[in-house]
Structure 1
Amino acid sequence: MSQVSIGQYILNRLKEINIDTIFGVPGDFNMPLLDLIEDDVALTWGNNANELNSAYAADGYARVRGAGAVVTAFGVGELSAINGIAGSYSEMLPVIHIVGTPRTTTQEKGSLMHHSLGNGDFRVFEKMSAMVTVASASLTLANAISEIDRVIQTAVINKRPGYISLPFNLINTMVELPSVLPLIVSPPKSPEQVKNIAIKEILRVIQESQNPVIIVDGCILRHRLTAEANEFVEIAGLPTFSAPMGKGAIDESLPNYRGVYAGAISFEEVSEEIKNADLLIEIGSIKSDFNTGNFTYGLEKIKTISLNSSNTIIFHAEYSGVRMQDVLPLLTAALSENKISLDYKPRVRSAPIDNETVEITHNYLWNKVPEYIAENGIIVSETGTSEFGIFNMESPKGATFIGQILWGSIGYSVGAAVGAAMADRSRKVYLFVGDGSFQLTAQEISVFIRQGLTPVIFLLNNDGYLMEKLIHGPERSYNNFQMWKYSQTLDYFGGNLEVNKTEGKNPSPIGIEAKVSTRQEFENAMEKVSEEPDKIHFLEVIMPAFDSPRELLLLCDLSENR
């Protein structure tokens, strides 16, 4: 029978679910756990600037790696992180939040401790977190092992955050381990008989339809089913669209890929193709407002098959427990015998670059920037203009798109890009963030540099909160803020300080720091960026104050009318 400390057991289980970086901020109740992290050669400590950013980083990491983890201190630390955890819940990411809490004896006495509310209730923050997690636990010596496993398994299976309260005195407490079985992190299999009935019915409906189409959405990404979805789409040969939250799930070079569908903010040609369908096959659908063009899908009259992670719905009949994870490969195998071959019109594209100005407009930027994005790049976009700009941007081969279309917390992208870059250092990260959002979470640039990460950062400077201006108050002062010297960001955060380059440290080599106002300046800067792929680059991109992607303008118009 072996022994292990409770803290080390948590770390072992995190490594088992493919986590090699743990984000967070030191606090007096969690530092013995940080000792274990720092001493574990298989783990890296994220060392974030604040707890909110650490939660964003764990979220971005989970989108690339499958799961993430964050460590905070009791009370003040965990409440700073809870917005990021709530975002992971909303957008379905398994982030394990580990909170270092006061000693068990202190809690039992109800002592008046710092970081507490001063009322002797040491469970109050766990109760708050229970509303934005799928499983939570307050560890004791008796329940620690079983509760750690329960929280992690439940979080990973359900694609939602989990919460673990770890008292200071239990971190290094040794426990007996009679046997350690692998974590169960796969959902139950679909009921065989019901699944077979559902598949038979789906194949019948497809065969009888005249003009079926497929829409692939974000749950495919959350459940890491992109390979299965792409094989199904390719073999089925049916016209296929992605929802905004599903962008990147389907290879856009496939001949039957037709573009992004987001209700009334879609291209007219895309809306027309959907309108003419007599059968809609939804895969992993998330029908939120921004994802559906403010609920303007208009698909109510179309017969629908909906494949989800917990059930399958064919028209109005629900097949409970029949999961898309099990259904997709079987449908693909059945359809491969009669692969459909169709001729398609050329896919509609964004309007070509308007050459009437030398300014860097959204029309120019989203047409031009794909030329500079490396294969398999990770594209992180902020809530606002960049999030909508990428909807119909040409997708570079193998690209992953990260954005917070449902939760929409401004500033999210900076921390998320740190997490994404840590999750896979072999892939180039491209961060698009607005000037307003950047001012919320700019500190994380310091973490990029400290961790030796080499993203390309595009700061879109349109002098204010443009999305808010388009919704309400275009001339109001509350939609403006102090101008910064953004193009000096890498220098300010210590990128050129010799003290940060001492022995044992490996900070990012600094590349381009530039402020670009014209298209030629942008292209000159990007040529230099392309020549130095192993450096961190920061471009402040000056854009017209009220210029916007067409998709955002249309959405704001819909918001006004509803």
Structure 2
Amino acid sequence: MRMQIGTFLARRLTEAGIRHLFGVPGDFNLSFLEQIREANGIEFVGNCNELNAAYASDGYARTSGIAALVTTFGVGDLGAIGGIAGAYAENVPVVHITGTPPLHAVNSRALVHHTLVDGDYDNIGRCMSEFTVAQARITPANAVSEIDRVLRACWLERRPVHLQLPSDVTHVTVEVPDSPLVLADPASDPEQLSNAAQRIVEALATAHFPAIVVDADAMRFGVTDIVQKLAEKCSIPCASLAPAKSALDETSKHYVGTYAGAASAESVRSIVENADCLIGVGLRFTDTSSALFSQHINPETFIDLRRHDLSIGTTQMPGVTLRDVLARVLDEAQPVVRERATQAPTVASDALPAGSSDAPLTHAMLWPRIRRFLKPGDVVLGEAGTSHASLSSMKLPAGATYIAQPIWGAIGYTLPALFGSLVGASSRRHLLFIGDGSFQLTAQELSSILRRDLKPVIFLLNNAGYTIERLILGEHSAYNDVANWRYAGLPHAFDRRERALSLVVETVADLEAALNRAESAEHLVFIELKLPMMDAPESLKKFADIFADFDYGECGPRNPPKVTALKTSPSGRHVAGETA
């Protein structure tokens, strides 16, 4: 079979499960976008800029499995690179396609626009190679092999890849295979798998206090269902790191909460750190997920399951994949009933804090009401700062998905990520919680949400700037200020069709009325929450203190140097005196 190269790439994207292609048009990718327009099963979705396109792709992949975006060479690539780097840090599979100048210009080193006019056409690829696991420049000679190789690498590592598609080769025909692209994880080595599973089963059988801790790879590699079945079969308490929020059913009697080292609830910390058989699933102890590396894991009783290998104590075992080993352990482990593991976890009280209905809104009044507002199956997005600090400690309903970026931590990420997730999973209710400072970085993407008549509920936390930064340093410093927009008016500025409900909340009564109206709204709901500038969840205040000490040290600006008094000697000279 012969097929145009761009058409073949579109076919491979759909075979990988990608139904939408995010991005921004540019002259070097227009020929490919024409082919996308004619392709079956995939649609181009325009964004306001390339960074937002990368964030939207990231959000799409988190609820749809894998995503793709298209940019133009140079300016488009570097505009998207921050979002691509975030997907790399957070283990999110994204296919980045860039339309490059025509191959004849590349080969002749022509000085064309969107380049540095130095004839170097490899510099952008070198930049992107730092944040992707596979790269290729497509030519008629390598199109079939390189497209398949790069797409498989994206799935294998669950990280971004980069494809350069010259504008003059998109419509060149090449021989292509009839067989569809198959994205599958490699099979484990049978002997290694059998040995590893046997040792894990034996460790569980002799353990009195086993536990499981999962990280984001449990979601990326699709093993959360196996983990939950294993926990039920063997009565094993389970915890998650912050990046794996919502990976497990948080209403399960086996789910104990989030483990964050010294910042964990004491009940969670005790279960994890005192386990005599601790199974980790894809764990990465970062500063934010471990409260500055305060985890205490016994290496002798730790079974560390990684994406393509594992270790049991100090024994390293390559060639064993997450799904294979967990499935084998689930099959071979004997059912166990442990009283401690089957005790129902403590359920947060559904009672609302006492307070006058006309009292100004505070975080203490806000989040208990949000907890009641959540429903099973919701997609909840929490922006870095006060929103994530509150939501990450809140028990989510069954089937809910939580999206945040706790490792890369780019502010403004969640609004375009909301757009991406909505495009891929429009049948699910989406709730976004974002601060005013973060919102201003990517606010344009609200227009994309309105353009497609998508219907999220957006909570804009207006606390007059960067509260999390004020807590760390510069409470009254101008660098933490942002302009005070008329936020609730933006949905009407971005869409002339008046298909949004905009509300401003200043009191508890306003909030309750807004939540009631949101329940029955037929279009996008935008709720501006006016909160005191320095009001924040207690967990965030503690976080800020800890990180300020880590970032700035004892001599930092939060700890000004002590003043040393000067004494005058009999000769009239100044000498050092006591510390004031």
Normalised TM-score (structure 1) = 0.94
Q: Counterpart of 1:64?
A: 63
In structure 1, give the amino acid aligned to 2:281: I
Most deviating of 33-42 and 156-165: 33-42
Matches within 5 A, 1:114-193: 114-177=113-176, 179-193=177-191
- Checking the alignment, whether the CA contact within 8 Å between 2:239 and 2:259 is kept in structure 1 is yes
2:462 aligned with 1:461? yes
Q: Counterpart of 2:452?
A: 451
Q: Counterpart of 2:277?
A: 279
CA deviation profile, 1:479-504 (whole Å, cap 9, x unmatched):
1111100011110112436xxxxxxx
CA deviation profile, 1:66-121 (whole Å, cap 9, x unmatched):
11000000100111001101111111111111100111111122111111101001
SS at match of 1:290: coil
SS at match of 1:483: coil
- Decide whether aligned partners of structure 1 residues 298 and 555 sit closer, same or farther in structure 2, where only a CA change above 3 A counts: farther
- Decide whether aligned partners of structure 1 residues 294 and 335 sit closer, same or farther in structure 2, where only a CA change above 3 A counts: same
Question: Which of 256, 266, 269 does residue 268 from structure 1 map onto?
Answer: 266
In structure 2, give the amino acid aligned to 1:169: D
- For residue 274 of structure 1, report the CA deviation from its aligned partner: 3.1
- Checking the alignment, whether the CA contact within 8 Å between 1:266 and 1:551 is kept in structure 2 is no
Q: Counterpart of 1:15?
A: 14
Matches within 5 A, 1:120-519: 120-177=119-176, 179-300=177-298, 303-340=301-338, 342=340, 343-344=342-343, 346-347=345-346, 349=348, 353-356=352-355, 358-496=359-497, 509-510=499-500, 512-519=501-508
State percent identity of aligned pairs.
36
CA deviation profile, 1:168-187 (whole Å, cap 9, x unmatched):
1111112122x333324222
- Checking the alignment, whether the CA contact within 8 Å between 1:219 and 1:284 is kept in structure 2 is yes
Between the aligned partners of 1:495 and 1:66, the Cα distance in structure 2 is 34
Between the aligned partners of 2:325 and 2:15, the Cα distance in structure 1 is 27
Between the aligned partners of 1:298 and 1:145, the Cα distance in structure 2 is 48
In structure 1, give the amino acid aligned to 2:156: I
- For residue 406 of structure 1, report the CA deviation from its aligned partner: 0.7
Most deviating of 523-532 and 369-378: 369-378
2:51 aligned with 1:52? yes
- For residue 351 of structure 1, report the CA deviation from its aligned partner: 10
Q: Counterpart of 2:73?
A: 74
Q: Counterpart of 1:551?
A: 539
Most deviating of 154-163 and 209-218: 209-218
SS at match of 2:509: helix
Between the aligned partners of 1:121 and 1:275, the Cα distance in structure 2 is 53
SS at match of 1:23: strand
Between the aligned partners of 1:495 and 1:366, the Cα distance in structure 2 is 33
- Checking the alignment, whether the CA contact within 8 Å between 2:374 and 2:396 is kept in structure 1 is no
- Checking the alignment, whether the CA contact within 8 Å between 2:254 and 2:345 is kept in structure 1 is no
Between the aligned partners of 1:52 and 1:234, the Cα distance in structure 2 is 42
Q: Counterpart of 1:103?
A: 102
Q: CA RMSD in A?
A: 1.8
- Checking the alignment, whether the CA contact within 8 Å between 1:21 and 1:46 is kept in structure 2 is yes
SS at match of 1:198: helix
- For residue 359 of structure 1, report the CA deviation from its aligned partner: 3.2
CA deviation profile, 1:485-533 (whole Å, cap 9, x unmatched):
0011110112436xxxxxxxxxxx32x201101111111111111012x
Q: Counterpart of 2:517?
A: 528
CA deviation profile, 1:145-204 (whole Å, cap 9, x unmatched):
111111111111111111110011111112122x33332422221111111111111122
Q: Counterpart of 2:548?
A: 560
CA deviation profile, 1:270-311 (whole Å, cap 9, x unmatched):
223334333322112121111112211122467211112121
- Checking the alignment, whether the CA contact within 8 Å between 1:260 and 1:392 is kept in structure 2 is yes
Most deviating of 163-172 and 362-371: 362-371
Between the aligned partners of 1:51 and 1:199, the Cα distance in structure 2 is 45
Between the aligned partners of 1:494 and 1:212, the Cα distance in structure 2 is 54
Between the aligned partners of 1:30 and 1:560, the Cα distance in structure 2 is 45
Between the aligned partners of 1:467 and 1:30, the Cα distance in structure 2 is 40
Q: List gaps (5 residues or longer) in structure 1.
A: 498-508
Most deviating of 543-552 and 106-115: 543-552
Normalised TM-score (structure 2) = 0.91
Most deviating of 52-61 and 224-233: 224-233
Aligned length: 547
- Decide whether aligned partners of structure 1 residues 351 and 372 sit closer, same or farther in structure 2, where only a CA change above 3 A counts: closer
Between the aligned partners of 1:208 and 1:337, the Cα distance in structure 2 is 13
Q: Counterpart of 1:32?
A: 31
Between the aligned partners of 2:230 and 2:245, the Cα distance in structure 1 is 16
Between the aligned partners of 1:265 and 1:447, the Cα distance in structure 2 is 38
- Checking the alignment, whether the CA contact within 8 Å between 1:259 and 1:347 is kept in structure 2 is no
- For residue 473 of structure 1, report the CA deviation from its aligned partner: 1.3
Between the aligned partners of 2:401 and 2:61, the Cα distance in structure 1 is 13
- Decide whether aligned partners of structure 1 residues 422 and 336 sit closer, same or farther in structure 2, where only a CA change above 3 A counts: farther
- Decide whether aligned partners of structure 1 residues 63 and 292 sit closer, same or farther in structure 2, where only a CA change above 3 A counts: same
- For residue 209 of structure 1, report the CA deviation from its aligned partner: 2.1
Q: Counterpart of 1:113?
A: 112
- Checking the alignment, whether the CA contact within 8 Å between 1:267 and 1:348 is kept in structure 2 is no
SS at match of 2:433: strand
- Decide whether aligned partners of structure 1 residues 302 and 548 sit closer, same or farther in structure 2, where only a CA change above 3 A counts: farther
SS at match of 1:163: strand
Between the aligned partners of 2:194 and 2:337, the Cα distance in structure 1 is 20
SS at match of 2:46: coil
- For residue 381 of structure 1, report the CA deviation from its aligned partner: 1.2
